[in-house]
């Protein structure tokens, strides 16, 4: 059992200790802190329903003589329940949040390691970059790349380069910077003796030791003055430069980075001095060994990226905002390659992956399923004690960092000014996840199966546009799928804040939900567990929806958007020659041939709508049919096309299809190389063809 310590925060929350079955405190962090210290002496883990004083309780725990049985756990009930307009009705919600906090920690995941020796490159105009180099050179191994000239220091205490950046690639401890030297003076060779400055008749050279080419009249006196050093060359052909660094401080106004989420170790504060100072402080601490979780797991065996040199699904590559995922083809077989050092853990790749080859692992889907069950089952059970109500809770998903802070600030605003700001309704249960883009349709539908009436995703405004677009596609798909089963209303919704301070959108949405009231469940809460295998979860959800649907699906099913990962294919019997190239291209085993007869079969359950069969078919005979049909039909092996076998005119052995041979004969009949006997040989199997040719030669 867990020791639960709940405080009503100086009586500002109308908590019902009797209903919760837990003694209440009024000033746990002050006069009643002894209760916390007493709990530390117990033999059970401690759960504290207060996140504001997390640091205080943690410090007291460190000072305790007895080691903790388990790490302290904290849960926020104040801003999301006790300080809302529905505080007096929030007992079931608080019980659910306490149950969520008691769910065991997720299993650890592998770590991704970084090593930084503190080699820093500062990129930007010399007037900004050089002063920062002077400030940081005692703590870090500094180099400067001046994109615009600046007064160089007298002493050569660190490397100074000049030019325009052509490429920034890499991550913490492993950056490669490519640039092009554009000025005749190479600052790497320049001794800053000033001889060139003294002889230049146009005063085109100053203490930045770069030639102003707009003023230079090509007298070349500077070249003669620098002859013994050789730093000045107007006809230089080798201009490309490259070097490796651990950290990057990019002060350019336009960094032109190819990804919207920059890698760890790269900082672009722009021209704001305050932002630059914050980055400088971070840089000093980024020397040594570091690690982060490996957020993803990849199974190349079921990846639908490419086969036979054809590209099918590109979803993960297109949605990745960090440039961590690349296409990799080897021997015609396509896979994707993920750089774990560049991955920032958004999980969008797993969300859009139709096959489940890319899986989010921090935490696993199975662990998140346990969290959903704890929330929904506890809330429903507690609510049932009150007049037997069976209204379903709403699930509010948010990113752990930004989203939790947003809800906290909204809760405080609702507490201090309830007539202006709307806090969370009593039936809205928040669940923080690592990143809002890490869950998709099968997870949300799984939440509905567990007893939630709806799923609401909170977008805080700091998400990459590709994530927002992907989530909107998934929401549309989920609601279309629910509508196919005749469930009313859009049960999956987005709340899109313009930025992290846009409380108006969030407050208004909460007000509308409070006025509308809770929805009913779509059926009896499911007992199946969410699987780490995406397709298993999806199939379990579809089976549940079918059992709960008000009316059965029609035999032909219902159409879904083109982004659907489920569906069928249509094959034109007239165009299809049963060459079976589509069977070889299918990465999921949805298309099957028959070794004993020219037949093409299909299992709809296996199809992920990747389109590789469409890309591969030489006759353009295949069309994707995104749809949902009954689980029974999805599992059936359906015959798509068949024809009569063609038998060798010599030995009678079947070696192809009648249609394929007829097509071949029709195309080659007018070709000079296939007239007469040569055309007849096309009707023979390979063995008889060779025998016939040998006989004719003899």
Q: Mind listing the pLDDT tens digit for each residue in 504-535?
A: 899 999 999 999 999 999 999 999 999 999 99
Rounded Cα distance, 239 and 218, in Å: 20
Say if residue 214 is in the same domain as residue 143.
yes
Average pLDDT over residues 590-607: 93
Return the percentage of the chain with pLDDT > 90, whole number: 80
Residue 9 has pLDDT above 80, yes or no: yes
Q: At what angle do helices 54-63 and 33-40 cross, to 10 degrees?
A: 50
Domain that holds residue 310: 294-360
Say if residue 411 is in the same domain as residue 443.
yes
Say if residue 564 is in the same domain as residue 657.
no
Mean pLDDT, rounded, of the chain: 92
Rounded Cα distance, 424 and 458, in Å: 12
pLDDT at 389: 57
Q: Mind listing the pLDDT tens digit for each residue in 314-358?
A: 999 999 999 999 999 988 888 999 999 999 999 999 999 999 999
Rounded Cα distance, 362 and 91, in Å: 30
pLDDT at 696: 74
The SS3 of residue 504 is helix
Q: Mind listing the pLDDT tens digit for each residue in 271-294?
A: 899 999 999 999 999 999 999 999
Of 340, 360, 380, which residue is a domain's last?
360
Q: Which of 445, 443, 636 is nearest to 546 (CA)?
A: 445
Q: What CATH number is given to the structural domain containing 352?
A: 3.30.70.20
Say what the pTM is.
0.88
Say if residue 368 is in the same domain as residue 259.
no
pLDDT at 155: 86
Which residues are paired to 257 by β-bridges?
A: none
pLDDT at 669: 72
Say if residue 398 is in the same domain as residue 543.
yes
Average pLDDT over residues 624-636: 96
pLDDT at 257: 72
Q: Mind listing the pLDDT tens digit for each residue in 126-171?
A: 999 999 999 999 999 999 999 999 999 888 899 999 999 999 999 9
Where residue 234 falls among pLDDT bands split at 50, 70, 90? very high
Q: At what angle do helices 273-284 and 126-136 cross, to 10 degrees?
A: 30
Of 287, 320, 338, which residue is a domain's last?
287
Name residue, tokens 């313009």.
Answer: 498
Q: What CATH number is given to the structural domain containing 171?
A: 3.50.50
Say if residue 141 is in the same domain as residue 227.
yes
Q: What CATH number is given to the structural domain containing 596?
A: 3.30.70.3270
Average pLDDT over residues 372-397: 88
Rounded Cα distance, 566 and 547, in Å: 18
Name the strand (E) or helix (H) holding 134.
helix 126-136
pLDDT at 681: 81
pLDDT at 404: 92
pLDDT at 140: 97
Q: Mind listing the pLDDT tens digit for each residue in 656-679?
A: 777 777 777 777 777 766 777 777
The SS3 of residue 220 is coil
Say if residue 428 is in the same domain as residue 538.
yes
Number of domains in the chain: 6
Where residue 258 falls among pLDDT bands split at 50, 70, 90? low
Residue 390 has pLDDT above 70, yes or no: no
DSSP for 100-155, written as a single string: HHTSPPPPP--EEEEEE--EEEEEEEHHHHHHHHHHHTTTSEEEEEEEE--PPPSS
Say if residue 418 is in the same domain as residue 493.
yes
Alpha-helical (H) ranges within 1-71 are 17-20, 33-40, 54-63
Of 233, 254, 287, which residue is a domain's last?
287
Give yes or no for a contact between 129 and 251, defined as CB atoms under 8 angstroms apart.
Answer: yes
Return the percentage of the chain with pLDDT > 70, whole number: 98
pLDDT at 127: 93
Residue 388 has pLDDT above 60, yes or no: no
Say if residue 611 is in the same domain as residue 667.
no
Say if residue 268 is in the same domain as residue 319.
no
Say if residue 132 is in the same domain as residue 266.
yes
Say if residue 327 is in the same domain as residue 248.
no
Residue 680 has pLDDT above 90, yes or no: no
């Amino acid at each position: 059992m867990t020791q639960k310590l709940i405080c009503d925060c100086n009586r500002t929350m109308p908590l019902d200790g009797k209903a919760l079955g837990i003694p209440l405190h009024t000033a746990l962090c002050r006069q009643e802190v002894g209760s916390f210290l007493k709990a530390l002496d117990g033999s059970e883990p401690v759960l504290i329903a207060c996140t504001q004083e997390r640091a205080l309780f943690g410090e007291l725990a460190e000072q305790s003589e007895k080691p903790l049985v388990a790490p302290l756990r904290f849960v926020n009930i104040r801003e999301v329940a006790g300080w809302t307009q529905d505080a007096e009705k929030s007992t079931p919600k608080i019980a659910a949040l306490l149950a969520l906090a008691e769910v065991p920690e997720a299993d650890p995941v592998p770590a991704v390691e970084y090593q930084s020796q503190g080699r820093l490159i500062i990129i930007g105009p010399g007037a900004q970059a050089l002063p920062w180099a002077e400030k940081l050179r005692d703590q870090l191994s500094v180099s400067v790349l001046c994109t615009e000239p600046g007064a160089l220091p007298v002493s050569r205490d660190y490397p100074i380069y000049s030019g325009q950046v052509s490429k920034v690639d890499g991550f913490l401890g492993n950056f490669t910077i490519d640039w092009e030297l554009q000025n005749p003076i190479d600052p790497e060779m320049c001794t800053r003796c000033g001889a060139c400055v003294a002889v230049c008749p146009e005063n085109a050279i100053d203490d930045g030791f770069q030639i102003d080419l707009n003023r230079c009249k090509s007298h070349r006196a500077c070249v003669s003055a620098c002859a013994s050093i050789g730093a000045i060359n107007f006809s230089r052909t080798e201009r490309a430069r490259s070097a490796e660094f651990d950290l990057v401080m990019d002060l350019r106004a336009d960094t032109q980075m190819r990804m919207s989420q920059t890698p760890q170790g790269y900082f672009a504060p722009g021209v704001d001095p305050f932002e630059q100072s914050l980055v400088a402080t971070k840089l000093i601490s980024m020397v040594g060994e570091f690690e982060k979780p490996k957020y993803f797991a990849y199974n190349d065996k079921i990846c639908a990226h490419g086969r036979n040199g054809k590209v099918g699904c590109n979803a993960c590559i297109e949605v990745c905002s960090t440039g961590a995922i690349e296409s990799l083809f080897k021997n015609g077989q396509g896979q994707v390659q993920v750089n774990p050092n560049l991955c920032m853990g958004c999980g969008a790749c797993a969300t859009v992956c139709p096959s489940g080859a890319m899986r989010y692992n921090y935490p696993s889907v199975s662990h998140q399923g346990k969290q959903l069950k704890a929330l929904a089952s506890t809330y429903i059970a507690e609510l049932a004690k009150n007049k037997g109500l069976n209204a379903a809770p709403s699930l509010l998903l948010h990113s752990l960092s930004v989203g939790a802070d947003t809800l906290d600030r909204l809760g405080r605003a609702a507490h201090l000014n309830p007539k202006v700001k709307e806090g969370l309704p009593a039936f809205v249960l928040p669940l923080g996840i690592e990143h809002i883009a890490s869950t998709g349709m099968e997870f949300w539908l799984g939440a509905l199966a567990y007893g939630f009436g709806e799923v609401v995703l909170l977008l805080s405004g700091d998400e990459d546009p590709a994530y927002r677009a992907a989530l909107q596609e998934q929401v549309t798909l989920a609601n279309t799928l629910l509508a196919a089963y005749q469930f009313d209303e859009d049960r999956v919704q987005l709340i899109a804040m313009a930025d992290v301070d846009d409380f108006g959108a969030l407050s208004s949405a909460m007000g509308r939900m409070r006025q509308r009231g809770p929805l009913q469940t779509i059926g009896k809460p499911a007992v199946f567990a969410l699987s780490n295998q995406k397709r298993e979860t999806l199939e379990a959800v579809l089976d549940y929806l079918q059992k709960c649907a008000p009316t059965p699906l029609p035999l032909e099913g219902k159409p879904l958007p083109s982004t659907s990962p489920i569906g069928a294919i249509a094959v034109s019997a007239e165009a299809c020659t049963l060459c079976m190239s589509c069977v070889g291209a299918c990465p999921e085993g949805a298309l099957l041939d028959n070794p004993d007869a020219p037949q093409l079969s299909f299992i709809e359950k296996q199809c992920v709508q990747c389109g590789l069969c469409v890309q591969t078919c030489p006759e353009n005979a295949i069309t994707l049919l995104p749809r949902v049909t009954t689980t029974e039909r999805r599992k059936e092996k359906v015959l798509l096309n068949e024809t009569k076998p063609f038998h060798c005119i010599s030995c009678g052995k079947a070696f192809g299809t009648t249609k394929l041979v007829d097509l071949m004969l029709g195309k080659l009949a007018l070709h000079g190389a296939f007239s007469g006997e040569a055309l007849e040989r096309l009707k023979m199997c390979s063995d008889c063809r060779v025998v016939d040719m040998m006989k004719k030669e003899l």
